[in-house]
Amino acid sequence: MEKQIKVIICADDGEWSREHIDALASRGAQVMITGRNGTTLLSKIREEKPDAVVMELFMAGLDSLGVMHAVKAEGLPRPVFIVTASYSAPTLERQVMEAGASYYAIQPYSKNEIIERIFALTGATHHANSLPASRSDLRIQVTEILHQIGVPAHIKGYHYLRDSIIMAIEEPEIINAVTKQLYPSVAKQYETTSSRVERAIRHAIEVAWDRGDVDVLNSYFGYTIHNTRGKPTNSEFIAMISDKLCLQMENVS
């Protein structure tokens, strides 16, 4: 049984059918519908502090970027943002993901798929700290952490980091053989070289360190931020994230 979550859907009348709203409610979600107006949506977020928000890329008042920037600027609890759009533009999609979106859906998309994403990304499908039911669930958890930290989704190092962290969780000993085992394994998946994987991961960490949310970085890498060592090495970064997820799994085992 999914845990109780609050979901705000910002959409025009009739855009979400009663069937889909009932599907959310039947799984334990408290669903609130608001018109396609970013200013109104932001007020609703302040009032309700939802777990997830589904909104269109462009809205009256504030667009999706404006809403996410305002949530961050005001220090509000950040919900899972799912942004929908009628077309794909790589630059715009990159801006949306960097602003805090967890998922970017291009029309036509399945409402049922959006519903599944809501529960998966909020962790409501299973206990928030439980062992992921599958590799797909683990991938979603790692993806959300990388978004929180501020690693841009459009750079190669993002994908290399995600796979490296998953490998380190599934095979903890691989963190002691980063150069000989981990980089070559990732490189094989993406048909590239170990040195390119290493450089891309280092670049992704540098970008996160320059642009990421300090509070979030501090929660994961506090000791590193507060001393003179600078950002963590590739292996430290991978080990810290994988260790944190492993500890969460052990706490409920």
Q: For 96-105, what is each residue's pLDDT tens digit? A: 888 888 888 8
Task: Say how far apart CA 146 and CA 95 lie, in whole Å.
Answer: 15
Q: Helix, strand, or coil here: 10?
A: strand
| Cβ contact 52:2 at 8 Å | no
Number of structural domains in the chain: 2
Domain harbouring 166, CATH code: 1.10.10.10
Residues 72 and 107 in one domain: yes
Sign of the Cα pseudo-torsion (133, 137, 139, 145, in order):
negative
- State residue 226's pLDDT score: 45
Residues 149 and 171 in one domain: yes
pTM of the model: 0.53
| pLDDT higher than threshold 90 for residue 112 | no
| pLDDT higher than threshold 60 for residue 201 | yes
Residues 38 and 105 in one domain: yes
- Distance (Å) of CA 67 to CA 39, 74, 83, 109, 207: 8, 11, 11, 22, 23
Sign of the Cα pseudo-torsion (225, 231, 235, 238, in order):
positive
| pLDDT higher than threshold 80 for residue 222 | no
**Structure token pair of residue 60:** 């009256």
| Cβ contact 87:122 at 8 Å | no
- State residue 124's pLDDT score: 64
What mean pLDDT is reported for the chain?
A: 83
Share of the chain above pLDDT 70, in %: 87
Nearest to 216 by CA among 148, 153, 154, 133: 148
Share of the chain above pLDDT 90, in %: 40
Residues 117 and 15 in one domain: yes
Residues 107 and 154 in one domain: no
Beta carbons within 10 angstroms of residue 190's beta carbon = 14
Q: Show which of 122, 148, 175 is a domain's final residue.
A: 122
| Within a domain: 37 | yes
Residues 46 and 142 in one domain: no
Residues 73 and 43 in one domain: yes
Q: Which amino acid is at 214?
A: V
Q: Show which of 66, 88, 122 is a domain's final residue.
A: 122
Radius of gyration (C-alpha) of the chain in whole angstroms: 19
Confidence at 245, pLDDT banded by 50, 70, 90: confident
User: Domain containing 201: what range?
Assistant: 135-251
16-62 per-position pLDDT tens digit: 988 899 889 888 899 999 999 999 999 999 999 999 999 999 999 99
| Within a domain: 224 | yes
| Within a domain: 130 | no
